[in-house]
């Protein structure tokens, strides 16, 4: 069965691996490199984070590794659990299981992450994109002409973009639209205006008109700051399959 890999920050528990009993000899940076090398063989990694053990436990480290693919995470867990990997003693690897009461909002990937994910699954030359329409929808200029004594809602910059992603090998095209908005606390008179120019490539013949895009797919709204935002790790939200995640106690 095919697996759906969304272009979103992976927050699902079945895409998260907890690795512990890591040696205290190497530095955290060296462990990060070794873990990335070992686990990236099973699939594209979103993040590898290394943490020191708690003060009440033996010296050493543990790690949280996130995959984009749940299938890749399961393969990595089965292949690496209780194996020595890059150290003399075996490590323990478990899939995380998030408590049902804990819910986090999914975050969209930033541009570089999206391109990395597309290149991994489709190949560097296996996909392309083109902008169909890019338009500013902000109302800042209109408000400047209004009576300043009248209280107005908070101003914001707003842009609309319609684009098309193409997969030549599969003869597939997927149009999409999005709306991004960011509040503006104060607009300086001498700050100038944002100029956006769209230059379609000359070799494009099949151009969809604006009315053809209307109602095609749903518009997703998100603030600009969310585009580059990384998810925070909530280790207390996770438990482990088969056994609870507990660091060894001191004798």
Q: Domain coordinates of the chain in residue numbers?
A: 1-120, 125-143+153-185+212-225
At residue 151, the pLDDT reads 56
The band of 20, judged by pLDDT with boundaries at 50, 70 and 90, is very high
Q: Which residue has the tokens 């935002």?
A: 229
- Rounded CA gap, 230 and 243, in Å? 29
Which of 19, 153, 165 has its CA nearest to residue 86? Answer: 19
- Rounded CA gap, 97 and 92, in Å? 16
- Rounded CA gap, 211 and 153, in Å? 30
Please indicate, yes or no, whether the overall pTM of this predicted structure exceeds 0.85. no
Helix (H) or strand (E) holding 109: none
The band of 31, judged by pLDDT with boundaries at 50, 70 and 90, is very high
At residue 96, the pLDDT reads 84
Q: Note the pLDDT tens digit of each residue in 198-222.
A: 444 444 434 444 444 444 444 444 4
Any idea which of 4-13, 75-84, 215-224 has the lowest mean pLDDT? Answer: 215-224
Decide if 82 contacts 90 (C-beta within 8 A).
yes
- Rounded CA gap, 129 and 125, in Å? 11
Question: Which three-class secondary structure state does DSSP give residue 70?
Answer: helix
Question: Which three-class secondary structure state does DSSP give residue 158?
Answer: strand
At residue 172, the pLDDT reads 92
DSSP label at residue 104: -
The band of 134, judged by pLDDT with boundaries at 50, 70 and 90, is confident
Q: Which residue has the tokens 């998810």?
A: 231
Any idea which of 129-133, 192-196, 227-231 has the lowest mean pLDDT? Answer: 192-196
Half-sphere exposure of 75 (CA within 13 A, CB side): 13
Q: Note the pLDDT tens digit of each residue in 137-164.
A: 876 555 555 555 555 566 778 888 898 9
Query: In this model, does residue 46 exceed pLDDT 90?
Result: yes
Query: Quick one: 1-120 is in which CATH superfamily?
Result: RRM (RNA recognition motif) domain (3.30.70.330)
Residue predicted with more confidence, 107 or 101: 107
């Amino acid at each position: 069965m095919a697996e759906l890999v969304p272009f979103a920050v992976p927050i699902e528990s079945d895409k998260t691996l907890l690795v512990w009993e890591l040696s205290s000899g190497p530095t955290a940076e060296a462990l990060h490199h070794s873990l990335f090398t070992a686990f990236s063989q099973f699939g594209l990694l979103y993040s590898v984070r290394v943490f020191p053990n708690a003060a009440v436990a033996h010296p050493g480290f543990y790690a949280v590794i996130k995959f984009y693919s749940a299938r890749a995470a399961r393969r990595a867990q089965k292949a690496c659990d209780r194996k020595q990997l890059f150290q003399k003693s075996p490590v323990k690897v478990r899939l995380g299981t998030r408590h049902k009461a804990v819910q986090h909002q999914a975050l969209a990937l930033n541009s570089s992450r999206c391109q990395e994910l597309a290149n991994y699954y489709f190949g560097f030359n296996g996909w392309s994109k083109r902008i169909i329409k890019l338009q500013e929808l902000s109302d800042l200029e209109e408000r400047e002409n209004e009576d300043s004594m009248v209280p107005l809602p908070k101003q914001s910059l707003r842009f609309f973009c319609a684009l098309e992603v193409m997969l030549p090998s599969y003869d597939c095209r997927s149009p999409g639209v999005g709306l991004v908005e960011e509040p503006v606390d104060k607009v300086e008179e001498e700050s100038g205006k944002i100029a956006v120019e769209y230059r379609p490539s000359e070799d494009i013949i099949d151009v969809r008109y604006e009315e053809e895009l209307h109602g095609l797919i749903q518009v997703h709204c998100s603030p600009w700051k969310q585009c580059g935002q990384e998810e925070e790790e909530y280790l207390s939200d996770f438990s482990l399959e088969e056994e609870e995640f507990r660091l060894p106690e001191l004798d």
